[in-house]
Amino acid sequence: MAERKTLNESLRERGVSRRGFLKFCTVTASLMALPPSMAPAIAAALERARRPSVIWLSFQECTGCTESLTRSFSPTVEDLILDVISLDYHHTLQAAAGHQAEAAREQAMKDNHGEYILIVDGSLPGPDMNPGYSTIAGISNYQMLMEGVAGAKAVVAVGTCAAFGGLPAAGPNPTGAVAVMDLVKDKPVINVSGCPPIPEVITGVLAHYLVFGTPPELDEYNRPKVFFGQSIHDRCYRRPFYDKGLFAETFDDEGARKGWCLYRLGCKGPSTYNACATMRWNSGTSWPVESGHPCLGCSEPRFWDAGGFYEPLSTPLIAEGPTVAVAGFAGAVAGGALAAMAKKATAAAVAQRQPVKVEELEQSLEGQP
Amino acid sequence: MSGLSKIGVIVEDDGIGPAEWGNALPILHQVRHALRKLRETGEPTLIDLRAMPFGPGDEERLVGLLGRGEVEARVEALGPTRIWETAYPGVWLVDHRNAQDERRALHIEVSTIPAILRSQDEDIADALIRLDACIASDSGAAYPSPTDV
């Protein structure tokens, strides 16, 4: 295999000046949620970094994660990251189809054995489930994943489906869907959750690999701390209203118009860890809370089954009415406690997850009118 | 156009007006600390405004408070970068954009001159090579050599 070019060499071949390269590094630092003072260190690392091979597998998913990724950078500075990685296999984006596509995947795995990054979006039926629920080229998702994992340097699970099971794993979980980390135990798994994830977070994780060649520091759910280290609630510009006990009660009341806290409208910000409040969406234009809608908690495990989107976070966990009001006035302490309780409930639910088999589903449906 | 344009839209003025989110003032304090450090130690500071949990209008308010100073510059490298000194000398705003003029990063740089304005060693070395090539290819045709005079 011919030695891959460094990023700096690739950019200079394109006529990008050193000044342009430093700008690229500055923007990359921002993308990786690192302080801009890290730009020279990133430049030094990227001068040596070689173009990594990336194999992207899509299983039980809606292609929203790929949509998110491609919407972010066509064609901006970030697309240079895709240009300077070697995206050797991606169902949706590649030109090849059928046997040629599978041959490209096998060739890339062989040529870059032990070195490539395996990106997975979508959950997959567990190894004990009927493989027919989801296949590609006649290969079960489970078999394709394990073949890919065998030669991978690291695995990146993109989106809540790949990270935690997501919608396919929501009750009654007809395909027995599981997350990537449920199956991969011998390689580092980085979860980039979100439905979909923020596009710059996906590219930021790839950039981290490109720059440092190692996984970023991860939280208890294997998510990079630089992006998932703080709750939406803690970084929300509406947080001061929560602390003062000022809440919107409906979507068109005075509180909603004044931009008060959306906690009582079901905002899951206190128990949700993501970067929406700072990185925002659509090139930094806005994010759900800024648009007046509560956070759905889409980057957390089991968010589809975690109660109504418009039910206050405290409702199923502690009490209604007065308790919520007290929690509001108690501010940060109560918010942290609620977040901890929600996390505990989520962890318990994940531990007790019991996939439903099709036979059981059919039996239950037969009994219905 | 569709029939949507026939639907009248009434914007109600409820007198509430834009909310004050209060995030600009803390950044001004941070800038002041950085400016003091620059004066006392010469050490520059970079503040990434993208990492700030701004509410709507916070950024505009901050930029407005910083104002405009004497210097403006524009760099064309992987898209435009606009740089201007604020009304407070030593405090610069650096607006990195891509080729489609979409913002990729917005920094406050507290320094005597923003780093991106400096010519880089690697580019200077390239410039020497290109200048030599230009002189070599141009000297015989366009200009008489000293010996011909």
Could you read off the pLDDT of B93-103 as tens digits, one per residue?
999 998 878 88
How far, in Å, CA of A86 to CA of A96, rounded? 15
Which is higher by pLDDT, A95 or A103? A103
Q: HSE (CB half, 13 Å, CA atoms) of A339?
A: 21
Cβ atoms < 10 Å from Cβ of A344:
11
pLDDT tens per residue across span A4-21 = 667 777 777 777 888 988
How far, in Å, CA of A196 to CA of A158, rounded? 8
According to the model, what pLDDT value does residue A327 have? 39
Residue A336 pLDDT class (50, 70, 90 cuts): low
According to the model, what pLDDT value does residue A325 have? 37
DSSP state of A50: B
Nearest CB to B123: which of A17, A30, A290? Answer: A17
Minimal C-alpha gap between B143 and chain A (Å) = 29
Tell me if chain A has a CB within 8 Å of the CB of B122: yes
Q: What value does the mean pLDDT of chain B take?
A: 86
pLDDT tens per residue across span B36-89 = 999 999 999 999 998 888 888 899 999 999 999 999 999 998 889 999 999 999
According to the model, what pLDDT value does residue A161 have? 97
Lowest mean pLDDT among A31-35, A188-192, B99-103, B105-109: A31-35
Q: Is residue B143 one of the residues assigned to a domain?
A: no
Residue A76 pLDDT class (50, 70, 90 cuts): very low
* Tokens read off for B61: 């308010």
- Nearest residue in chain A measured CA to CA from B16: A258
How far, in Å, CA of A367 to CA of B132, rounded? 87
Minimal C-alpha gap between A121 and chain B (Å) = 26
Which is higher by pLDDT, A363 or A238? A238
Domain count, chain B: 1
Say if the Cβ atoms of B46 and A24 lie within 8 Å. no
Nearest CB to B50: which of A240, A257, A284? Answer: A284
Distances (CA, A) of B12 to A255, B9, B127: 16, 10, 60
Say if the Cβ atoms of A26 and B105 lie within 8 Å. yes
Average pLDDT over residues A70-84: 53
Say if the Cβ atoms of A19 and B48 lie within 8 Å. no
Collect all residues of chain A within an 8 Å Cβ-Cβ radius of residue B121: 18
- Nearest residue in chain A measured CA to CA from B13: A257
Average pLDDT over residues B9-18: 60
Residue B32 pLDDT class (50, 70, 90 cuts): very high
Amino acid at A294: P
- Helices A18-31 and B121-138, axial angle in degrees (round to 10): 150
Average pLDDT over residues A94-103: 86
Say if the Cβ atoms of A17 and B77 lie within 8 Å. yes
Tell me if chain A has a CB within 8 Å of the CB of B99: yes
CA-nearest of A86, A60, A67, A68 to A177 is A60
Instruction: Give the three-class secondary structure for A247.
Output: strand
pLDDT tens per residue across span A169-179 = 999 999 999 99
Tell me if chain A has a CB within 8 Å of the CB of B54: yes
Calculate ∠ Cα A140-A141-A145, nearest 5°.
Answer: 120
Say if the Cβ atoms of B77 and A237 lie within 8 Å. no
- Nearest residue in chain A measured CA to CA from B109: A36
What is the DSSP annotation of chain B? --GGGGS-------S--------HHHHHHHHHHHHHHHHHH---EEEEGGGS---TTHHHHHHHHH---S-EEEEESSSEEEEEE-SSTTEEEEEEE-TT--EEEEEEEESSS-GGGSPPHHHHHHHHHHHHHHHHHHTTTTS--GGG-
Collect all residues of chain B within an 8 Å Cβ-Cβ radius of residue A284: 50, 103
Q: Which domain holds residue B108?
A: 24-122
pLDDT tens per residue across span A344-362 = 655 655 555 555 555 665 6
Q: Is residue B139 one of the residues assigned to a domain?
A: no
Nearest CB to A77: which of B14, B78, B119? Answer: B78
Which is higher by pLDDT, A328 or B33? B33
Q: Is residue B31 one of the residues assigned to a domain?
A: yes
Mutate to test the interface with B, among A27, A28, A203 (most CBs of B within 10 A): A27
Q: Is residue B142 one of the residues assigned to a domain?
A: no
Tell me the domains of chain A and their CATH numbers: 50-227 (3.40.50.700), 232-351 (4.10.480.10)
Average pLDDT over residues A51-57: 87
Say if the Cβ atoms of B55 and A77 lie within 8 Å. no
Q: Is residue B33 one of the residues assigned to a domain?
A: yes
According to the model, what pLDDT value does residue A319 have? 34
Residue A53 pLDDT class (50, 70, 90 cuts): confident
Say if the Cβ atoms of B98 and A254 lie within 8 Å. no
According to the model, what pLDDT value does residue A13 have? 77
According to the model, what pLDDT value does residue A363 have? 65
Say if the Cβ atoms of A259 and B19 lie within 8 Å. yes
* pLDDT of A368 strictly over 70: no
How far, in Å, CA of A145 to CA of A154, rounded? 12
- Nearest residue in chain A measured CA to CA from B118: A19
- Look-up: residue for tokens 């790929």? A66
According to the model, what pLDDT value does residue B9 have? 72
pTM (predicted TM-score): 0.79
According to the model, what pLDDT value does residue A51 have? 75
Cβ atoms < 10 Å from Cβ of B121:
9
Q: Is B76 exposed, middle or buried (0-12, 13-18, 19+ CB in 10 A)?
A: exposed
How far, in Å, CA of A323 to CA of A345, rounded? 19
Q: How many Å separate Cα B85 from the centre of its chain? A: 9
According to the model, what pLDDT value does residue A75 have? 39
Contact predicate A163/A179, CB 8 Å = yes
* pLDDT of A330 strictly over 70: no
According to the model, what pLDDT value does residue A165 have? 96
CATH number (domain holding residue B86): 3.30.1370.140
Minimal C-alpha gap between A263 and chain B (Å) = 17
Tell me if chain A has a CB within 8 Å of the CB of B70: no
